[in-house]
Amino acid sequence: MSYPTETLHKEFSGFLEEITPKLEILEKLGEVVIQAADERSASVRAKKTRHEAEIELIDRQIKELIRMRIDRLITGEEFLTQKSLLSERQIALVSARIADRMSADQVRGDLANITAPSLI
């Protein structure tokens, strides 16, 4: 059975118009995605700040530990035990640096590229 080409083209064009996302929906979705990206970026920045503060705290604690040992306030064994614990934590924190994999600006650019073809 054969269908006229013009009829198929009209039906297919109508189908495409029905399933093509509306501009308002794409814009609203974009706003929601960008808001989520902004919130995630803020969360990552806060986590980074806490992470860096903890690394700095450990640095200060190690310096204080050294000062205590120099002043003979703690024994060599106490010094080594505490230094080892602090160093392990410091290494773990430094090796687990937090990276912001995607910024809100990147999301905006990507959304513009993704939605551009559907706006034509």
The pLDDT profile of the chain, 120 residues, written as one tens digit per residue, is 677 888 889 999 999 888 888 888 888 988 998 899 889 888 988 999 999 999 999 999 999 999 999 999 999 999 999 999 999 999 999 888 777 677 777 888 888 788 776 555
Give the pLDDT score at 113. Answer: 83
pTM score, whole prediction:
0.63
* Chain mean position to CA 119: 29
Give the pLDDT score at 82. Answer: 97
Decide if 89 contacts 58 (C-beta within 8 A).
Answer: yes
Please list the alpha-helical segments (H only) found in the chain: 5-19, 23-70, 76-95, 104-115
CB atoms within 10 A of CB 13: 10
Give the pLDDT score at 58. Answer: 97
Amino acid at 28: K
Give the pLDDT score at 32. Answer: 92
Residues 111, 108: Cα–Cα separation, whole Å: 5
